[in-house]
Structure 1
């Protein structure tokens, strides 16, 4: 009996000691404040992979991304992502931003398909979205689902044309946008003459989108790029799609109009928007030529004074058939005999446009007044549009004639290019010499 009482006493003493020990331990250890918020996990780091390509496939879609630009002209939609989307597969998309090295929450996009597609399956498309608050966005990508923490396999695009404080001074007065070179195009002499003619007219920068060109032309373009006058943008559209050599799907088939010409023209407008006062949209075999002014700046100063709220100036296309040559041979220069391409100085006979049928124009634009463009007209713009009278400015376009039945007597003599020959010829000689294409048998 005594042993049982002794055991109970020891058990009770042990129980009390254990309780006191637990109480002391809990008193010394700080209690966790259950009302305090849990520490936030750091958002996933970004960007892990930035696309340096001009055409980037968008994961889990049939679409392609080209470039991203800040564009605050449309309220609430700060970013414009230019792409090539398959028209029958457009679905809701979400913008994901890289903000100071970490990814944001996603924001919904507004998908704007351009109205001109000429029947082709792929269309130039703008994906518009707003930047989240307190996000200093440097890169952006598109997702098919709302935000996921897995960012390791995303293709990020750098955001260009960042907003700056105060009025930004334009680096260039005139930029020419050329799209596109394809099919091993190698018209070296005409390209050199055209680029040097534009330099004489006051153009500061030419941008060319190049899918493929001939070896001699590639050397010429490299030379112009090295001196900074030309910006060549690689455009490997044929690696991703079956591009068309024609303008209408019902006639030629394919995935996209003229090697993505509509996309590159729009891309060039935004590429030039914060650095060039004016942009000329035309082809490599066309020269937008003032006829009452010595240069493009004098022309535009006059036109802007007459049309102060105009951002789009249409310039009429005039064909100079390449089969008709100036008879005296005055500009059939021996040093150019072995240079591939057309000598535009030899072609002085001009077709009068048939205005009873559709007649194309090209454009000089103020890029900040244009949202979307097609080849011969703008699709969305701010301000007014104006057709420049052909006696003020017209396009010199040396190519196959559109009205092949016209006789020489029915054509008009137009020697406007000859007004620049004293500077044009030595300048062309200089650049051809620089790339090793000038023939040594030069007429004195």
Structure 2
């Protein structure tokens, strides 16, 4: 009998010991193999940044995360498009986690784009390289690797999880910045309708602010489906410059973070769009030898199969010089705020020994980093498209204001589309309540 009690006691002690070990092991996920943690149970989920957010501060730093993508061209590393303060560099860490909430921490590799125009903050790629990055669902950039256990910090969702060979859009236009009280309704409507005629299916605008009338037009195009508005509240985090020259336009970052948004737009549409057009809101990339952009790119790509970056010359049509017959000075548009591009057919000549900036049509899958007028890193070469094949119609204040009308060139290309363009602009303005 006594022997049985002893055996029973030993059994109880053993069971208690096993339960204690199990309990201890269940709390050991913060001290497993170095730099690998197990997330808390599902009732304590990750704080994932809302899809409508576009700028997320990095804790205990002067830096910001913007968006995260798998880069399949670079062995599946995670590329976090970021805004980094160049004067306050510090070691950064990546915490990337699978959908099953298993996380890994690695040292981050920081590449600040060299085209920052001297401003303190610059567009930056933060790379997260490690095992199974392709399987990651979300990522965090942190200044302290110990923060990996704190899941109250905000993680970015990781996009471009899979390579696509068919695309939702053939052509996407990326408009890098909209800010201030910009209210150029008529020119914006004409530009969007012109792009529709040329074969564009998607336009993206990074919006900080705009005028009330343009806001109404943006909502119309967003409802219609051609326009995607990405909120860009850069002024809530930094003092953005309204220009590119730091001596003339003071601030923390060049032109409301234009370089960040251009790069973000390329990666956002890496597998959504066959081609991406990078140009400003008052510019139209216009084919001169082809009926539309599809025909243009078919010929260019056929002649240059390895090229992924096509540079298009910028040409200014001064909004101060008006077509004399007043053929398109329409009474219906007289009260619409903005510029009527159909009235401005006079083009400035190119200046000798003066750099003529370009904008671009790119295959986003061949671009790694871009600036405003050319790419910084890409797979393959760039090709400058001849002036007579394609050029930019840029209606704006004159660059050579001293020139008389007789010294300008007549360029009526937009008139080739007058009937369809006017009809479509009128319809849009009526739907918005402007007519």
Superposed CA offset, 1:381-437 (max 9, x none) = 001110000100000000111111111111000000000001000000000000001
In the TM superposition, 1:19-418 aligns within 5 A as 21-22=5-6, 25-26=9-10, 30=14, 39-41=25-27, 43-45=38-40, 47-52=45-50, 53-75=53-75, 78-133=77-132, 136-148=135-147, 150-164=149-163, 167-418=164-415
- The verdict on how the C-alpha distance between 1:148 and 1:40 changes in structure 2, with shifts beyond 3 A counting, is farther
Instruction: Report the CA distance shift for 1:135/1:128 in structure 2 as closer, same or farther (over 3 A).
Output: closer
Question: Which consecutive unaligned segments of at least 5 residues does structure 2 have?
Answer: 30-37
Alpha-carbon RMSD across the aligned residues, in angstroms, is 2.1
- Which string of whole-angstrom CA distances, capped at 9 and with x for unpartnered residues, describes residues 44-93 of structure 1? 23753222211111111100111111112113x51110011100112221
SS at match of 1:251: coil
2: distance between equivalents of 1:352 and 1:178? 26
Looking at structure 1, the residues matched to 8 and 276 of structure 2 have their Cα atoms a distance apart, in angstroms, of 80
Name the count of aligned residue pairs.
418
In 2 relative to 1, CA 47–24 (structure 1 residues): closer, same or farther, beyond 3 Å? Answer: closer
Deviations 1:255-276 (A, max 9, x none): 0000000000000000111110
Q: Kindly provide the CA deviation profile for residues 107-148 of structure 1, in whole angstroms up to 9, marking residues without a partner as x.
A: 221111001010100000111113533983211111212254
Distance (Å, rounded) in 2 between the aligned partners of 1:27 and 1:432: 85
In structure 1, how many angstroms separate the alpha carbons of the residues matched to 2:359 and 2:81? 22
Rate the CA distance shift 1:24–1:405 in 2: closer, same or farther, 3 A. Answer: closer
Q: Would the aligned equivalents of 1:176 and 1:203 in 2 still touch at CA under 8 Å?
A: yes
CA–CA separation in structure 2 for the residues paired with 1:397 and 1:147: 52
- Within 1, Cα distance between the matches of 2:12 and 2:434? 89
Q: Note if contact 1:97-1:131 (Cα within 8 Å) is conserved in structure 2.
A: no
**Partner Cα separation in structure 1 for residue 416 and residue 148 of structure 2:** 64
CA drift of 1:309 comes to 0.5
Contact 1:242 1:256 in 2 (8 A): yes
Distance in 2 (alpha carbons) for counterparts of 1:174 and 1:47:
38
Residue 338 of structure 1 deviates from its aligned partner by: 0.5
TM-score (norm 2): 0.92
**Deviations 1:158-184 (CA, angstroms, capped at 9, x unpaired):** 1111115xx531110000000111111
Between 272-281 and 134-143, report the one with greater CA deviation: 134-143
Q: More deviation in 173-182 or 244-253?
A: 244-253
Secondary structure, counterpart of 2:87 in structure 1: helix
Structure 1 residues 351, 78: CA separation in 2 closer, same or farther (over 3 Å shift)? same
Is contact 1:96-1:103 (8 Å) kept? no
Aligned mates of 1:40, 1:55 — CA distance in 2: 36
Deviates more, 1:88-97 or 1:391-400: 88-97
Partner of 1:65, secondary structure, is strand
Unaligned 5+ segments in structure 1 are 1-16, 439-444
TM-aligned CA deviation for residue 154 of structure 1: 0.8
* Equivalent residue number for residue 34 of structure 2: none
SS at match of 1:128: strand
Q: Which moved more, 1:85-94 or 1:216-225?
A: 85-94
Asked which structure has the greater CA Rg, the reply is 1
Which whole-Å CA distance do the structure 2 matches of 1:27 and 1:404 have between them? Answer: 97
Alignment partner of 1:429 out of 426, 430, 434 = 426
Task: Work out whether residues 71 and 80 of structure 1, in 8 Å CA contact, stay in contact via their aligned partners in 2.
Answer: yes
Q: What CA distance in whole angstroms lies between the structure 1 residues aligned with 2:288 and 2:12? A: 93
- Bigger drift between 133-142 and 191-200 goes to 133-142
> Aligned to 1:73, what secondary structure does the other structure show?
helix
Q: CA deviation at 1:40?
A: 4.4
DSSP-derived class of the 1:39 partner: helix
- The Cα of 1:361 is off from its aligned counterpart by 0.5
Query: What is the rounded CA distance, in whole Å, between the counterparts of 1:134 and 1:286 in structure 2?
Result: 39
1:63 and 1:84 in contact (8 A); partners too: yes
Do 1:48 and 1:151's aligned partners in 2 also have CA atoms closer than 8 Å? no
Report runs of 4+ in structure 1 exceeding 6 Å deviation: 17-20
Distance 1:135 1:182 in 2: 36
SS in 2 for 1:250: coil
